[in-house]
Amino acid sequence: MKLFSKPSSVKGTLLALLLPAGIGLMALAWVVHGLLLDRMSRDFVESRLKDEVAFLEHQIRQAGGAVDSLNTGDYFQEVFHHAFAIRSPSETLISPSAWQPLLAPLLTMDSEGSVRIQGAEFSGAPSDILAYRKAFMVDGTPIVVIVSEDFGALKRSQTELHAWTAVVSVLLILLLVGVIWIGINLAMRPVVSIKGALTRLQDGEISRIGVRAPEEFRPLVQQLNQLLDSLDHRLERSRDALANLSHSVKTPISALRQILEDTERPLDASLRQQMASRLSDIDTQLEAEMRRSRFAGPQVGKSANPLTQARDLLWMLGRLYPDKSFELASSLPEDCRWAIEEHDLNEILGNLLDNAGKWSDSFVELSLEEVSGKPWISVIDDGPGVPEQELAKLGQRGVRLDEQTPGHGLGLAIVQDIVGRYGGRLGFAARTPAGLHVQVTL
Amino acid sequence: MRLLLVEDDRLLADGLTGQLEKAGFSIDWTGTAREAVSFGKHDDYRAVVLDLGLPDGSGLEVLKTWRANQINVPVLILTARGDWQDKVNGLKAGADDYLAKPFQTEELIARLNAIIRRSEGRVQSLLKAGGFELDENRQSLRLPDGSEHSLTGTEFRLLRCLMSRPGQVFSKEQLMEQLYNLNDTPSDNVIEAYIRRLRKLVGPESILTRRGQGYLFNEAV
């Protein structure tokens, strides 16, 4: 069971990412707000209590330490909204008296500064207070003053404020979700339009995608359009090829039928000869067209492993010509790949090696390398070679330097075709003392 | 010489039968893959001409069945598809030669004679060492995991030399004799390059280097 299954749509991904993030951050802000509020209010109350203690101290010093002579009447009630306790060796004063049990223990403590008492259970007195205690000497008499405030009341109002903040936060989150939703939808609009265009393309309403795509999708649309172009192109080519083929094949066929249907006509040797050559023409045409239609030319996403293919071909030719040695020389890594369609590479290697095998005396060597990052193929043999003046003619369609060897004389022409389609070069050179050296750069 | 012809086109088969009989063969003919498989079991055929496109199956499957049953009669495949990959697949399945249609009967007869000549005195010979099997006829190596790898001539001869006597050290000079090279003076690096390539196949532990002496095949891996 997977904890998170990856959402399959861009929209889903964005929502899955942005929504929890937004909510989480809002919640964090709210918690931090609560903590800060807590601290701030405590600091504020504490500083007020401190001021009041200072005021009381001032009063007591003015009275020369006589605590009972302090005016604890109305004035005190007005100035002080807080409970207080004063202790001198002669007497103890606590107001309001309900706070007595809370504050009395504090008087006897010996710590200075603010004290927080929580969870106290006395009737009439709050359960959560903050007090400030100060001890000092007036003319040699030790005096302790404590001022305290009901912290619970403050907490309650603080909680209310915090709750309101939560409400506002939730509203903000909802707003944020709305904005995210709208943003995603707006951003995804081009995708929707591309989707629509693809549907229309499928239904055949349009033949190319003409959507003004945003920058991120432009290469995709271009690739698609290129693919469609090349498909159209290919269809056109194969139609043309078939039309040509059918035309060039049908004529000899009808000529042959003509001869065969004419029962009066004797089949003499010369007529047989003619018929056979007509049939050979048909075959040659077929073969040439078939091979031409089979090679792909450069294509995105097509690559071949030259070493595996070369090994297979060399092994096969070694079986077919058992008294000749076919060798491979290469420093390419085993898993190297070339950006050339497999069938095309096979056609290049097969034709070159087959030629070399036919002509060689006892040895053929195939070298595969990469020269400045480009595939480089070389085939050498120790056969009779080709005279210097004939080298230029090699690879031209229909040129056969020797009518005696079997084959259509198509091999090199096909290699030339394919190499040309990959924008490469096919070169021939004579070897010393004898033999031919063929080089292909792609 | 008895010869089996497997070809589904009656017209072509009849024509071929006539011309092959003129050339001194006696022909058994069949047009289906099923019959071909059972015909192949008779061991008095000197050669087989096998068409790949049969109505009830592929000639390649027939060939593989024969070879799996140790029927080692030389086979020449006929096919209308002249693709290099098809040729390779045909030979890998165990064919000895290959002819694309349309062909001239003279060429067929010449090639038949050639593969018959080649097969004479041929025995099933497997060289085994340390879990590896070297097939002399197919010039291929079977690894312990059952996969088969085709070798070039020199690779095959070097490996045959090393596997013929596992544990014996062969000097570079001795191995050099297995090489056929265009250069009159092949360098030591050539041997090293081949050894490196063979080690990729059989694993680095199977061919050991003895410094200053040479190489040996180690079957205790």
Average pLDDT, chain A: 81
Which tens digit of pLDDT belongs to each residue from B52-63? 888 888 899 999
Confidence of residue A76 (pLDDT cuts 50, 70, 90): low
Residue A294's pLDDT is 73
CB contact under 8 A, B154 and A279: no
CB contact under 8 A, A287 and B200: no
**Window 278-307 of A, Cβ < 8 Å to B:** 279-280, 283, 287, 290-291, 294
Does residue A325 sit at the B interface (CB-CB below 8 Å)?
A: yes
CB contact under 8 A, B182 and A365: yes
Judge whether A325 and A347 are in contact, CB under 8 Å: no
- Please give the distance of CA B22 from its chain centroid, rounded to a whole number: 29
- For residue A406, the cross-strand partners are none
Residue B35's pLDDT is 92
- Compare CB distances from A315 to B84, B96, B139 and report the shortest one's residue: B139
A83-87 β-sheet, strand order:
A92-95, A83-87, A141-150, A128-138, A113-118
Residue A261's pLDDT is 84
Confidence of residue A367 (pLDDT cuts 50, 70, 90): very high
Whether the predicted pLDDT of A402 surpasses 60:
no
Least confident of A346-355, B68-77, B157-166, B180-189: B180-189
CB contact under 8 A, B150 and A312: yes
Whether the predicted pLDDT of A314 surpasses 70:
yes
Residue A1's pLDDT is 47
Which tens digit of pLDDT belongs to each residue from B65-124? 998 888 889 999 998 877 888 889 899 888 999 998 888 888 999 999 999 988 886 666
Confidence of residue A228 (pLDDT cuts 50, 70, 90): confident
Our CA dihedral for A105, A109, A113, A116, rounded to 10 degrees, sits at -40
Q: Which residue has the higher pLDDT, A62 or B169?
A: B169
Q: How much is the average pLDDT of A124-137?
A: 80
Locate all alpha helices (DSSP H) within A262-367, ordered by sequence: 269-294, 306-320, 342-359
Distance in angstroms (rounded) separating the CA atoms of residues A428 and A399: 15
Whether the predicted pLDDT of A313 surpasses 90:
yes
**Window 166-225 of A, Cβ < 8 Å to B:** none
Distance in angstroms (rounded) separating the CA atoms of residues A88 and A279: 136
Confidence of residue A404 (pLDDT cuts 50, 70, 90): very low
CB-based contacts of B111, cutoff 8 Å, min separation 6? B76, B97, B99
Which residues of chain A have a CB within 8 Å of the CB of B153?
318, 325-327
- Residue to test with chain A: of B147, B152, B156, most A Cβ within 10 A: B152
Which tens digit of pLDDT belongs to each residue from A292-312? 777 767 776 778 899 989 999
Residue B186's pLDDT is 62
Whether the predicted pLDDT of A366 surpasses 90:
yes
Which residues of chain A have a CB within 8 Å of the CB of B193?
329
- Compare CB distances from A315 to B151, B193, B200 and report the shortest one's residue: B151
Q: Crossing angle of helices A189-202/A151-187, nearest 10°?
A: 30
Residue A198's pLDDT is 85
Residue A316's pLDDT is 92
Residue A406's pLDDT is 47
Distance in angstroms (rounded) separating the CA atoms of residues A25 and A32: 11
Q: How much is the average pLDDT of A378-392?
A: 84
Residue B77's pLDDT is 93
Whether the predicted pLDDT of A408 surpasses 60:
no
The residue to which tokens 């001890």 are assigned: A135
Whether the predicted pLDDT of A385 surpasses 70:
yes
> How distant is the Cα of B200 from the closest Cα of chain A, in angstroms?
9
- Compare CB distances from B102 to A283, A319, A327 and report the shortest one's residue: A283
Q: How much is the average pLDDT of A325-330?
A: 88
Which tens digit of pLDDT belongs to each residue from A185-225? 888 887 788 888 888 888 888 888 776 777 777 888 888 88
